[in-house]
Amino acid sequence: MKWYFWQLIMSNISEYIQNNPHESHRLLGLKYEQLQQLLEKAIKLHH
């Protein structure tokens, strides 16, 4: 059950940042492009 809530929270954060890319720096300290690169690398490492 905890995994579902974690996915839901991350999904909401991801959706918010995609809809408001200028907010990524304020929320995460990363530019939107940096966040995209980080996520791409994480996905590659996971697979």
Which CA distances in Å does 40 have to 16, 44, 47? 18, 6, 11
Output the pTM of the full model. Answer: 0.61
* pLDDT for position 1: 54
pLDDT band at 3 (very low <50, low <70, confident <90, very high): low
Ramachandran class of 34: left when φ > 0, alpha when ψ lies in -120 to 50, beta otherwise: alpha
Percent of the chain with pLDDT over 70: 87
Please give the residue range of the domain that contains residue 34: 2-46
Domain count within the chain: 1
Residue predicted with more confidence, 9 or 32: 32
Do residues 16 and 23 make contact, with C-beta atoms less than 8 angstroms apart? yes
